[in-house]
Amino acid sequence: MPARPALAHEQREGTGETVATVTERQEPADEPHSLPPVVELAKTTTPVPPAASTTAATPVTAAPRRHGRWLMPTLLLLLLVTSIVSAGMGAFDIPSDQVLSSALRHLGLDVGHVSQANEAVLWNIRFPRIVLGIMVGACLGCAGAAMQGVFGNPLAEPGVIGVSSGAALGAVGAIVLGVSTFGSWTVTAFAFAGGLLTTLFVYLLSRADGRTEVVTLVLTGIAINALAGAAIGLFTFVADDAELRSITFWNLGSVGGASWKIIGALAPFALVGLLILPRYARALDIMALGERGARHLGVDTERVRIVVVVLSATLVGAAVAAAGVITFVGLVVPHIIRLIAGPRHRLLLPASAVLGALVTVGADLAARTIAMPKEVPLGVLTALIGAPFFLWLLRRTRSRQGGWA
């Protein structure tokens, strides 16, 4: 609150503090105008009791925010705890202090003794798996939030609208056709291209007048998923045994095949998307007004759209390339964040990345421990939790808006 108008007003009015603050807020005292005092709606009504108007005005200065401030620290802490717990659990348990010691030792801090066997399990199996889970989850959560923002529709999600299966189709195609154009990057590159093409395709098909209607979006998703499913089925039909195993992996989704090499291949894609997307947070907020409304406020909607769609597809493509199709993370996660902290993308995008990581690491822990020694595919587990959530969301959207259109 700048001092100048307040002072000017106090001199003029000299009334009690409460009243002075209120009038000062309502009247644009520092706008020079020789004309009679500005017409104000609040003033033309019956005199507002000072108490009522102070309460009305306070939230403006004390920026209203849900629980935004504590969200990121809490999520990061939970992610750390879950990761440590997850690293300790499995076919044979490793105490948490040993997990910590082992991790710290690689950071150059020698604390406590860790057995050779534990060390091997942690660094060859568990840590890569957790790191991959974090990266894949972060990609999916952030991409989900960004896609919902740019589609202007809270139901947009890579899995639902078919981007994940498009990416899986790219990967499966590369495996079965034995393409090796890009060496060890081939499958990743194809998954990425598949994801990007499908995103653009869905985007072009489902939008009308700068918005995406829920029905159109979901139906487009059904069609794309069916199409990709059929193509994957065809590839499955002609695949040999080894290829079949890879294909199953892409379809069900798992971070079980994690290795430092895969993580290294995923990292550049993930970082590009996760670091650049938050720069479009403000533009995505304004896009909630619709394309035309955003343009009225100076947003170059064309550019924002293309950049955000390409970056989200990059994230999804990279995640699918590394871990197969893991559905619903990108749907559920941004929703939970919005419920807790509101829809502002400045917080939504990074928080969705962290919660996505948390959910994926947690789900993977469940996937490999609930049916030990067998492993439930991660994608199956997320779908099992995510699909009912999606149904609930559909119902809620319908009852809120009186329809899906």
Partner 1 sequence: MRLLARNRTAALASAPEIGRIGVEAEDVTYGIAGRNLVDGVSLTVRHGEIVAVLGPNGAGKSTLLGLLTGDLTPHHGTVRIADRALADYSQRDLALRRGVLPQSVTLSFPFTVDEVVRMGRAPHAGLPSDESEDTIVARCLAETDVAHLADRVYPSLSGGERARVSLARVLAQGAPVLFLDEPTAALDLKHTEDVLRLARDRARRGDAVVIVLHDLNLAAAYADRIALLARGRLVGCGPPEEVCTAPVLTELYGHPVDVLRRPGTDELLILPSR
Instruction: Report the interface residues with partner 1, using CB under 8 A.
Output: 1-2, 5, 25-28, 30-31, 33, 35, 38-42, 44-45, 52-53, 55-57, 59-61, 63-64, 149, 152-154, 211, 282, 285-290, 292-293, 295-300, 338, 342-344, 400
Please choose, from the candidates 322, 329, 334, the residue with its C-alpha nearest in 3D space to the C-alpha of residue 381. Answer: 329
Q: Which is nearer to partner 1, 46 or 181 (CB)?
A: 46
Whether 385 contacts 326, CB under 8 Å: no
Handedness of CA 257, 258, 261, 267 (dihedral sign): positive
Least Cβ distance, residue 213 to partner 1 (angstroms)? 11
CA atoms within 13 A on the CB side of 207: 18
Closest approach of partner 1 to the CB of residue 152, in Å: 4
Q: Does the bond joining 373 to the residue before it have cis omega, within 30 degrees of 0?
A: yes
334-344 burial: b if 16+ Cβ within 10 Å, else e: bbebbebbebb
**Nearer of residues 245 and 279 to partner 1, judged by Cβ:** 279
The CA distance from 210 to 204, in Å, is 11
Among 194, 162, 161, which residue's Cα sits nearest to residue 175? 194
Closest CB 236 distance from partner 1, rounded Å: 38
**CB closer to partner 1 out of 27 and 364:** 27
CB 42 to partner 1: min, Å: 5
Instruction: Compute the least distance from the CB of residue 275 to partner 1, in Å.
Output: 20
Is the CB of residue 301 less than 8 Å from the CB of residue 290? no
Q: Supply the minimum distance, in Å, between the C-beta of residue 339 and partner 1.
A: 10
Report residue 373 as tokens.
């020694």
Residues in the chain, how many?
A: 405
136, 326 contact by CB (below 8 A): yes
